[in-house]
Amino acid sequence: MMRLRLALSGILAAVAGIAAGHLVAGFLAPASSPVLAIGSTVIDLTPTPVKEWAIATFGTNDKAILQGSVLVVTLVLAAVAGLLARRRMPLAVGFIVLLTGLAGAAALLRPAARPLDVLPALAAMAAGVATLVWLVRLARRASDAAVAKGDEATVDGPRGSKMTPAADSATQRGTGRRGFIGGALGVTALSVLAAVGGQLRAGAESVKKIVLPAAADKAKPLPTGLETQVSGISPLRTPTSKFYRVDTNLVVPKVDVDSWTLEVDGMVEKPFTMTFAELSAMPLIERDITMTCVSNEVGGGYIGAARWLGVRLTDVLDRAGIKGSPDQVLSTAVDGFTISTPLGVVRDGRDAMIAIGMNGAQLSDTHGFPARLITPGLYGFVGATKWLTKLTLTTYAADQAYWTKRQWATDAPIKTSARIDTPAPLSTIKAGTTAIGGVAWAQHRGVGKVEVKIDDGPWQATKLGPDVGVDYWRQWYLPWDAKPGLHRISVRATDLKGQAQITERATPFPSGSSGIQEVVVTVA
C-alpha cells in the first residue's frame, strides 16, 4: 500500500509539473511546454532510419505517438522517484529537478529559443517538487496510521508508533488514508485545470486575417476536373483542409505578421530585411503547383495540388544581388528549421516563389503563414520552407540544412509516379462497367501518358484529364468492364519526354520512393 502511494506521489508530481509547465507555456511560448520541448529534441536527435520507420509505421500519428512515449517514460521515471522518496527524499527531489532541468535545457536549446522559454520547465520543477514532498508526507502519514493499527507491515515505519493507543488508531488510519486520497485528488484536479488552461490559451492564439493583393500575373481559371465524371478520383485541386501537412513541429508556429520580417543575407551585394507589407507589394504571380513530400510511399497521400500566390524568389534574390558563386539558397524558418535549395534550380526559369497565398486565401498557420517557399519540381524538404524568415545565399560546402545534415539528398527532383484512387485497394466492387482512375505527376517535366495493366494483360493507355501545366498533376481514368473474381491493377506514368517512371522499388530515403503501385480488388 505504502509503495503504491509513493509511486502515485511520484506520478502525480510529474503530472502536476507537466501541467504547470504547460500552463506557463500557453502564455509564453507553447512549444516550450516540457513534454513538447523534449519531444522536439527527440525528433531532432532521432537517427534517420528510425524516423523513416516511425513515419512508415505510424504515418501522421507519429507525432502523437512520440508525445505519448515521452509522457509514459516520464511517468515511469517519476514513479521511481516517488519510491525513492520514502528513504531518500533529497535524491527523489534531485531526480525531479534533473527531469525538469532536461526539459528546460531542451527548451533553451531549440534553435530559435529565447531565455524566457526556460520558465515552463522552472514552473514544472517547482510544482513537481512541491507536489512530491507534500504527497509523500501524506503517504507517510497514511502508512504510519495503518502501521499503528497493525494493518500494514512495517518496512521502515517507526516501530514506536505501535505504542499508539488502539482506540485512536482506527480514526487515525482513516484520516491518514483520506488525507492522501484527498491530496491526490486535489493534485489531479488542479493539474487537469492547468493543462486545459494552457491548452486553451495556446489554441486561442490565431494568426491575423490579412487582405492579399491581386496577382499581377494571374493563373488561368482551373478547368473542370475528372472528379465530376469519375467518382473517387482526387479533385483537380486539393482543398486546403485536405492538403497533407508534414513538418518537424509539435506546435504550429503562429507568426505575428506585423513584426515578421524576411532577411536576405550571405553571399549577396546588399543584404536587406523586408516587412510583410514590402514583400506583398512586390509583383505577385499566381501558379498551380503540385507539391509532394519525399516521404510519400508509392500510392501514398503526401501529395497535394494547390494554387499559390507569391513573389518570384529570383525577384527577391536579385534585389540583394548575388556575390561570388553561391550554389545554395539556405532558407530558415521562424523556429530555426532550415532547408537548402540548389541555386541553379531556383534560377533555371521555373516558378520558385515565396508564397503568401494558397487556394485564394492567406496561408493557414499549418501551411506556413505568413510566407513560405514553393519550388516546383522539388520535394518539399528541399524547397518548401514554411514560416520562412531568412534566405541565405551560401554553398553546400559551407552550410547544410536540417535534412541534408541527416544524409537526405541535396538535390531531390520529384520522381514521376502515378496513383490509383479508385477502386480502393482490397475493396469489393460490383461487376459491370466501372472506371479505374487516379492522378499522376512528373512535376516540371509534365505527364505524357498514364497506362494501366489489369492482371497479366497488356499496358493500356488511359484517358487524361485537363492539362494544368507541367508543374501540376494530371488526373486519368480507364473505363473497365469488370468481370467477377480477384483482379490486380497496376499503373505507370511516363513524362512528356517519354521517360517512364522508375519501376524498381525504392524507399523514400534518401531521394524519394519509386516503384509501381499495384491494387488488388474483388469484383462480385
Ligand X SMILES: Nc1nc2c(c(=O)[nH]1)N[C@H]1C(S)=C(S)[C@@H](COP(=O)(O)O)O[C@H]1N2
Binding interface with ligand X (CB under 6 A): 243-248, 291, 293, 333, 337, 367, 380-381, 384-387
The 264-303 site mask, x for binding Mo ion (CB under 5 A), equals -----------------------------xx---------
34, 380, 465, 512: residue in contact with Mo ion (rule CB under 5 A): 380
Instruction: Give the integer Cα–Cα distance in Å for 153 and 141.
Output: 14
Measured from the CB of residue 212, what is the shortest distance to ligand X in angstroms? 17
On whether the CB atoms of residues 191 and 15 are closer than 8 A, the answer is yes
Closest CA to 492 of 458, 514, 517, 463: 517
Residue 307 binding: pick among ligand X, Mo ion, none (C-beta 5-8 Å cut-off by kind): none
Measured from the CB of residue 425, what is the shortest distance to Mo ion in angstroms? 23
Instruction: Give the integer Cα–Cα distance in Å for 156 and 87.
Output: 8
Q: Which is nearer to Mo ion, 28 or 289 (CB)?
A: 289
Instruction: Give the integer Cα–Cα distance in Å for 438 and 206.
Output: 36
Measured from the CB of residue 253, what is the shortest distance to ligand X in angstroms? 8
Burial label for 277, CB within 10 Å (0-12, 13-18, 19+), is exposed
Instruction: Give the integer Cα–Cα distance in Å for 1 and 84.
Output: 15
Contacts of 152 (CB under 8 A, 6+ apart): 1, 2, 143, 146
Measured from the CB of residue 428, what is the shortest distance to ligand X in angstroms? 33
CB atoms inside a 10 Å sphere around CB 323 = 13
On whether the CB atoms of residues 466 and 236 are closer than 8 A, the answer is yes
Give the residue at shortest CB distance from Mo ion. Answer: 293
Measured from the CB of residue 174, what is the shortest distance to Mo ion in angstroms? 60
Residue 244 binding: pick among Mo ion, ligand X, none (C-beta 5-8 Å cut-off by kind): ligand X
Residue 408 binding: pick among ligand X, Mo ion, none (C-beta 5-8 Å cut-off by kind): none
Measured from the CB of residue 44, what is the shortest distance to ligand X in angstroms? 11
246: helix, strand or coil: coil
Question: Of the ranges 243-251, 266-274, 369-377, 482-490, which one interacts with Mo ion (CB under 5 A)?
Answer: 243-251
Q: Which is nearer to ligand X, 3 or 245 (CB)?
A: 245
CB atoms inside a 10 Å sphere around CB 87 = 10
CA distances from 493 to 284, 302, 455, 501 (A): 33, 18, 18, 6
Residue 420 binding: pick among Mo ion, ligand X, none (C-beta 5-8 Å cut-off by kind): none
Torsion over CA: 349, 511, 69, 118 (sign): negative
Cell digits of residue 375: 519550388
Instruction: Give the integer Cα–Cα distance in Å for 199 and 194.
Output: 9
CB atoms inside a 10 Å sphere around CB 72 = 10
Measured from the CB of residue 482, what is the shortest distance to ligand X in angstroms? 35
Residue 248 binding: pick among ligand X, Mo ion, none (C-beta 5-8 Å cut-off by kind): ligand X
Cell digits of residue 435: 472506371
Measured from the CB of residue 358, what is the shortest distance to ligand X in angstroms? 8
Residue 386 binding: pick among ligand X, Mo ion, none (C-beta 5-8 Å cut-off by kind): ligand X
On whether the CB atoms of residues 439 and 225 are closer than 8 A, the answer is no
Verify binding: residue 381, Mo ion, rule CB under 5 A: yes
Residue 314 binding: pick among ligand X, Mo ion, none (C-beta 5-8 Å cut-off by kind): none
Verify binding: residue 246, Mo ion, rule CB under 5 A: yes
Question: Of the ranges 17-25, 53-61, 131-139, 238-246, which one interacts with Mo ion (CB under 5 A)?
Answer: 238-246
Q: Which is nearer to ligand X, 93 or 346 (CB)?
A: 346
Interface positions with Mo ion (CB under 5 A): 246, 293-294, 380-381
